[in-house]
Chains A and B, each alone.
Chain A
Amino acid sequence: MNSFLSQSFAVIRMNLLSLPRRLWMSLAMIIASAVVVTILLAFLAMARGFEVTLKGAGSDDIAMFLRDGSAAELNSVLSKSQVDLIENAPGIAKDKTGVILSSELYVIVDGIKKTSQTAANIPLRGTSQTGIKMRQDFKLIKGRLFNTGTTEMIVGAGILRQFDGFELGKTIRFGKNKWQVVGVFSTGGNVFESELWSDYRVIQNLYNRGSSVQSIRAKLVEAGDIKQIKEYIKNDPRLNIDVETEADYFSAQGKSLNYMAIFGKVISSIMALGALAGALNTMYTSVADRSREIATLRTIGFSNSSAFVGTLFESLTLSALGGLLGALGAFLLFDGMSTSTLGGSFTQVVFSFELSQDLIVQGMKMALGIGLVSGFFPAWRAARMPVLTAFRTE
């Protein structure tokens, strides 16, 4: 065993020292694995960033009410009488002024995307002081809150990053109505930052919504506990309403970009096959290139398993280098990159690519997989190489 180890180390050392002889082939293998990893990570980081942005918006101690079957706020409508009924539901927290509940609605308005200079959907949400308080991470970065009953609005930081014309102090027209930007807010990077906020009553008035709203958020007495509320809704035929925790709602919404992760996995796996072919070429070349050395060592009495290990180690080293390079590339190119896309609510979600550690681990696994397979077969050939044949190859 000890001898096996020392033999293997000797062979590994010789292999690595002979790498410069095969510089270009080795570089090709490194680059191929690197690109596969970069691609995989780009897609995973995109899907992850999107998911985090939506998930981060959801809170476990808030119940979210939508019309049944509507699945997203966009499609939901709730009448005033339904809102009144929900206010009396059990399990909702109260403070001095009454139940902690926010009726909300939004109009989709056009914003001009910085990247394409074309119009894209953004939500102008009608909310209230209570609604704002319910967003734990809410922070006013600049200016002040909108005043109730006015056409003032505050703008999410994400909107400012991706869209033109929403800067503090600007007057904006949506249809015939003029709005003033009086503040800029952040909610810790989650999806609410991709919104414009104002007084919900003003929105109802200006956009012919009567007294209807689209969603209700209510603070729960006990986080995560919506059983009583569900019961209450079931027993009242007037309430054709779905309820779930805000956390659940947003984690479902966050999945809507999962096809990106799947697409990325599929495409990078196919790409990995291409890289694998290249890597096998590299490793077979390496074995051919070292055949005399291998034969010499075998003649001296080195075991064939040391030839195997040496070759495998070489390919793992190259692919691991590629994996690291690819992860670094993905990090430099994509991590933190801000972009926006159409989310489940048919409005733009501004989010940043997020290359977290577990994703990098996935990338490295992919690279080492390439190294393992591309090393195994050539290593097998190296181990089985008859000593004499090796000497004959010129």
Chain B
Amino acid sequence: MTDLFLVYKNLTRKKMRLFLTCFAIFIAFLIFGAVSALKGALDSGVEMSADNRLVVINKINFTQPLPFSYVNKVKALDGVKNVTHANWFGGYYQEPSKQLMTMAVEGATYFKVYDELTIEPENYTNWMKNQTGLLIGERIAEQYGWKVGDKIPISSNIFSHKDGGHTWQFTIQGIFKPLDQKTDTSYVILHYKYFKETQTFGGTSVGWLILTTQSPSLNEQVAKAIDANFVNSAAETKTSTEKAFNKAFIEQIGNIGLIIYGVVFMAFFTILIVVGNTMVLAVRERTKEIAVFKTLGFSSMRIFKMILTESFLLSFIGGLLGMVGAYLVVGGVSKGLAGILPNLLIGPNTWAQAIGYMLLLGFVTGIIPAINALRLNIVSAFSRA
């Protein structure tokens, strides 16, 4: 028999209470893990944005177009490395509810700007040769089970095809993959030129420009130069880093996000308080036993440690189970939600935070009874009973 065994015996003396307490902690951490994953998924666009990438949009709003001529004008500016452009297609597959993020891009420059994406050279060449060709992201390929060579109809809820209807036929020519698994690839790209030629509005406007600078230190200077270049023109621009742009986009969802996290974390801490209360009371019930231990000659410090160990054990059993549960749940739903919420995963940060909270819970719930035990006066403990 060791002290650890005594801790174990104390912990398991009331099986029902142990189970219920563990379960409550389990639930708390399950929610914590799942909601943190959700938050991480929403923020991942910001996190994964490249340092030297800028986004140029119409100053009125990013849904307003820019003249095509801006592409070359921006390219000519100092400090600009590569420029590409994209148009929002408003795509869906079969039914309007099955949204498919689709963009019309310039193939020759797109992968120069998004150099964290890779594609088989052969597939890329084929795509460049085929104007009805489509490239799909790895996540889309996984989600729909599409392969190179598949013929896919994609409809637009904005544009109409010259030949009538809103649907275009495409052939998948390749699948682009990210270098870092967290990079979002849940979208498809088609040729800008083909898109402009076949939709009814015509015109040559582009949705927005994306460019890379020679170095991140030039970002501000380049952004200013671009906006200054088009000031007082028909389409003034607003240039920001990809990070800032993504962040502003997330902010559009608004403090609703904040409310969710606020509310959920409030709940998380409440459960911890409730659980902590149970644990404190559980030790208080044992006041007399602790007095016996002391009478037998166990040192106060030794009892102090035993009580803390017990609370840490409890917190870690429930907490780790909860995190494993969250891991399983998140893993289970992330495939299904890949289209809406890519990067739904429990990152190392969340694990670290969770461990931190487990330590905190173990400490806070253990320290009060442990100190009480440390201070416990044997005489009054017995007379109290």
Query: In the complex, what residue of chain B is closest to A349 when comparing beta carbons?
Result: B254
How far in angstroms is the closest Cβ of chain A from B148? 29
Query: In the complex, what residue of chain A is closest to B256 when comparing beta carbons?
Result: A341
How far in angstroms is the closest Cβ of chain B from A92? 26
A24 with B277, Cβ < 8 A, contacts A176-B234, A341-B256 known: yes
How far in angstroms is the closest Cβ of chain A from B58? 7
How far in angstroms is the closest Cβ of chain B from A258? 13
Contact with B along A40-63 (1 / 0, CB 8 A): 001100100000000000000000
Cα–Cα, bound, A277→B321 (Å)? 16
Interface centre among B60, B251, B273, by most chain A C-beta atoms within 10 angstroms, is B60
Cα–Cα, bound, A348→B251 (Å)? 11
The answer to the question of A270 belonging to the interface, with a C-beta cut-off of 8 Å to chain B, is yes
How far in angstroms is the closest Cβ of chain B from A284? 6
Query: In the complex, what residue of chain B is closest to A29 when comparing beta carbons?
Result: B274
The answer to the question of A102 belonging to the interface, with a C-beta cut-off of 8 Å to chain B, is no
A120 with B30, Cβ < 8 A, contacts A42-B259, A175-B235, A278-B275 known: no
Q: State the interface size on chain A (CB cutoff 8 A).
A: 54
- CB of B254 within 8 A of CB of A270, answer no
- Which one of A31, A38, A274 contacts B27 once the chains associate, using CB atoms below 8 Å? A274
- Which one of B23, B247, B259 contacts A273 once the chains associate, using CB atoms below 8 Å? B23
A176 with B236, Cβ < 8 A, contacts A70-B158, A75-B158, A277-B27 known: yes
Q: A residues within 8 A CB of B238?
A: 110, 119
- CB of B263 within 8 A of CB of A42, answer yes
The answer to the question of B349 belonging to the interface, with a C-beta cut-off of 8 Å to chain A, is no
Q: Choose the segment among B14-22, B133-141, B298-306 that binds chain A (4+ C-beta atoms closer than 8 Å).
A: B14-22
The answer to the question of A387 belonging to the interface, with a C-beta cut-off of 8 Å to chain B, is no
The answer to the question of B63 belonging to the interface, with a C-beta cut-off of 8 Å to chain A, is yes
Q: B residues within 8 A CB of A46?
A: 256, 259
- CB of B232 within 8 A of CB of A176, answer yes
Q: A residues within 8 A CB of B267?
A: 35-36, 39, 267, 271
The answer to the question of A28 belonging to the interface, with a C-beta cut-off of 8 Å to chain B, is yes
Contact with A along B124-135 (1 / 0, CB 8 A): 000000000000
- CB of A109 within 8 A of CB of B20, answer no
The answer to the question of A174 belonging to the interface, with a C-beta cut-off of 8 Å to chain B, is yes
Interface centre among A176, A274, A280, by most chain B C-beta atoms within 10 angstroms, is A274
The answer to the question of A316 belonging to the interface, with a C-beta cut-off of 8 Å to chain B, is no
- Which one of A174, A176, A340 contacts B233 once the chains associate, using CB atoms below 8 Å? A176
- CB of B63 within 8 A of CB of A275, answer no
What 15 new A-B contacts, CB under 8 Å, besides A110-B238, A120-B254, A285-B281? A31-B270, A38-B263, A39-B263, A75-B90, A107-B64, A115-B255, A118-B248, A175-B60, A175-B64, A267-B35, A270-B27, A271-B31, A281-B17, A339-B254, A339-B255
Q: A residues within 8 A CB of B232?
A: 176
The B233-273 residues at the A interface (CB cut-off 8 A) are 233-236, 238, 247-248, 251-256, 259-260, 263-264, 266-267, 270-271, 273
A278 with B64, Cβ < 8 A, contacts A69-B96, A270-B30 known: no
The B15-64 residues at the A interface (CB cut-off 8 A) are 16-17, 20-21, 23-24, 26-28, 30-31, 35, 58-61, 63-64
How far in angstroms is the closest Cβ of chain A from B226? 16
Q: B residues within 8 A CB of A2?
A: none
Q: Which 6 A-B pairs have the closest CB atoms?
A: A274-B27, A277-B24, A118-B248, A277-B20, A35-B270, A116-B251
Q: B residues within 8 A CB of A260?
A: 256
Query: In the complex, what residue of chain A is closest to B231 when comparing beta carbons?
Result: A176
Query: In the complex, what residue of chain B is closest to A381 when comparing beta carbons?
Result: B16
A70 with B157, Cβ < 8 A, contacts A278-B20, A278-B24 known: yes
Q: B residues within 8 A CB of A42?
A: 259, 263
The answer to the question of B196 belonging to the interface, with a C-beta cut-off of 8 Å to chain A, is no
- CB of A35 within 8 A of CB of B20, answer no
Q: State the interface size on chain B (CB cutoff 8 A).
A: 53
- CB of A275 within 8 A of CB of B251, answer no
How far in angstroms is the closest Cβ of chain B from A110? 5
How far in angstroms is the closest Cβ of chain B from A82? 13
Interface centre among B16, B27, B270, B273, by most chain A C-beta atoms within 10 angstroms, is B270
A119 with B278, Cβ < 8 A, contacts A42-B263, A75-B90 known: no
Cα–Cα, bound, A280→B19 (Å)? 11
Contact with B along A116-155 (1 / 0, CB 8 A): 1011110000000000000000000000000000000000
The answer to the question of B166 belonging to the interface, with a C-beta cut-off of 8 Å to chain A, is yes
- CB of B271 within 8 A of CB of A278, answer yes
- Which residues does B use to contact A, with CB under 8 Å? 16-17, 20-21, 23-24, 26-28, 30-31, 35, 58-61, 63-64, 90, 96, 155, 157-158, 166, 232-236, 238, 247-248, 251-256, 259-260, 263-264, 266-267, 270-271, 273-275, 277-278, 280-281
Q: Can you show 21 pairs from A to B with CB atoms below 8 A apart?
A: A25-B281, A38-B266, A39-B266, A39-B267, A69-B166, A109-B60, A110-B238, A120-B251, A174-B60, A175-B58, A176-B232, A270-B30, A271-B27, A275-B24, A278-B278, A280-B16, A281-B278, A284-B20, A334-B259, A339-B259, A348-B254
Cα–Cα, bound, A201→B374 (Å)? 81
How far in angstroms is the closest Cβ of chain B from A169? 22
- Which one of B24, B247, B259, B281 contacts A274 once the chains associate, using CB atoms below 8 Å? B24
A342 with B254, Cβ < 8 A, contacts A108-B61, A274-B24, A280-B20 known: yes
Q: B residues within 8 A CB of A341?
A: 252-254, 256
How far in angstroms is the closest Cβ of chain B from A339? 6
Cα–Cα, bound, A267→B26 (Å)? 14
Query: In the complex, what residue of chain B is closest to A71 when comparing beta carbons?
Result: B96
Q: A residues within 8 A CB of B27?
A: 270-271, 273-274, 277
A342 with B253, Cβ < 8 A, contacts A119-B248, A278-B271, A281-B278 known: yes
How far in angstroms is the closest Cβ of chain A from B83? 22
- Which one of B96, B252, B271 contacts A275 once the chains associate, using CB atoms below 8 Å? B271
Q: B residues within 8 A CB of A280?
A: 16, 20
Cα–Cα, bound, A70→B96 (Å)? 9
- CB of B277 within 8 A of CB of A277, answer no
Query: In the complex, what residue of chain B is closest to A162 when comparing beta carbons?
Result: B254
- CB of A69 within 8 A of CB of B60, answer no
Query: In the complex, what residue of chain A is closest to B244 when comparing beta carbons?
Result: A118
Cα–Cα, bound, A281→B277 (Å)? 11
A175 with B252, Cβ < 8 A, contacts A70-B157, A70-B158, A339-B259 known: no
- CB of A35 within 8 A of CB of B264, answer no
How far in angstroms is the closest Cβ of chain B from A196? 12
